[in-house]
Structure 1
């Protein structure tokens, strides 16, 4: 199953340059990389990235991350995927821009 991470431009650039990342500041603080399912990612964008431009949507394969991926309760008790290791460029299935149009992020078909 594909799961999704939203990165700001500088975070995406750092992953591209270094080949791996500890994630965004919130990921470092919490000790894991926050990821969302297709059903969760639109709300994640609205809640945590409202009004932000220059975002990137990263698709990851949950099966490939299985040993380091934990499904844990978060918003509303829903299980969210959390990655307990650095995210590597080789983990990325695809990356697409996440433009902001009229105050809402425009998602590709997930």
Structure 2
């Protein structure tokens, strides 16, 4: 299953440079890297990245993460994918800009 991580530009750049990441400050504080499903991604962007520019959306296949990916109840009682490991750049299938259009982030066609 494909899951998605929203990165700020500096976080995406650091992952490219270092080859791995423990995530954003909130991920490090929580002890896992927050991901969203395709259906959850827009709500995640709206709630946690409202009006933020220079974001990137990265796609990761859950099979590549093995047992380090856990599905846990979070916002609204829904289960979200959480990675209890370092995310490696080699696990990112693709990453592209997540533009802000008329005050809302525009996701790739067919994702949300």
Q: TM-score range by the shorter chain?
A: over 0.9
SS at match of 1:63: helix
Structure 2 counterparts to residues 71-86 of structure 1, below 5 A: 71-86=71-86
Q: Name 1:57's counterpart in structure 2.
A: 57
TM-score, normalised on structure 2? 0.96
Q: Name 1:2's counterpart in structure 2.
A: 2
* CA displacement at 1:31 relative to structure 2: 0.1
Q: Name 1:106's counterpart in structure 2.
A: 106
Number of matched residues? 110
SS at match of 1:4: strand
Unmatched runs of 5 consecutive residues or more in structure 2? none
Structure 1 residue ranges (4+ consecutive) displaced by more than 3 angstroms after TM superposition: none
Distance in 1, matches of 2:90 and 2:5, equals 14
TM-score, normalised on structure 1? 0.98
Unmatched runs of 5 consecutive residues or more in structure 1? none
- RMSD, aligned α-carbons: 0.6
* CA displacement at 1:63 relative to structure 2: 1.3
Q: Name 2:39's counterpart in structure 1.
A: 39
